[in-house]
Amino acid sequence: MNRECTLGKDEKQRLIHCLAKSLRGFRATCGWSQEKLATIIGVTRQTVLAVENGKREMTWTMFLAFSLLFLGNEKTRQSFIESGAYTEELACFLGISERRR
CB 19 within 8 A of CB 37: no
Write the CA distances from 24 to 12, 21, 51, 67, 97, integer angstroms: 20, 8, 9, 14, 28
Is residue 67 within 8 A of residue 20, CB to CB? The reply is no
Q: CA-CA distance, 98 to 90, in Å (whole number)? A: 11
- We report the CATH number of the domain holding residue 21 as 1.10.260.40
Kindly give the parts of the chain with pLDDT less than 50: 1-2, 99-101
Nearest to 3 by CA among 93, 96, 99: 93
Query: For residue 4, is it within any domain?
Result: no
Q: Which domain holds residue 23?
A: 9-94
Task: Give the per-residue pLDDT at 11.
Answer: 96
Whole-number pLDDT of residue 17? 97
- pLDDT for res 101: 40
User: Cα separation of 11 and 88, whole Å?
Assistant: 12
2 domain-assigned: no
Spatial separation of the C-alpha atoms in residues 77 and 69, rounded to whole Å: 9
Looking at residue 98, its pLDDT comes to: 57
Q: What integer pLDDT is reported at residue 99 of this predicted model?
A: 46
For 74-101, how does the pLDDT look when each residue is reduced to its tens digit (9 = 90+)?
Answer: 999 999 999 999 999 999 998 886 544 4
Structural domain count, the chain: 1
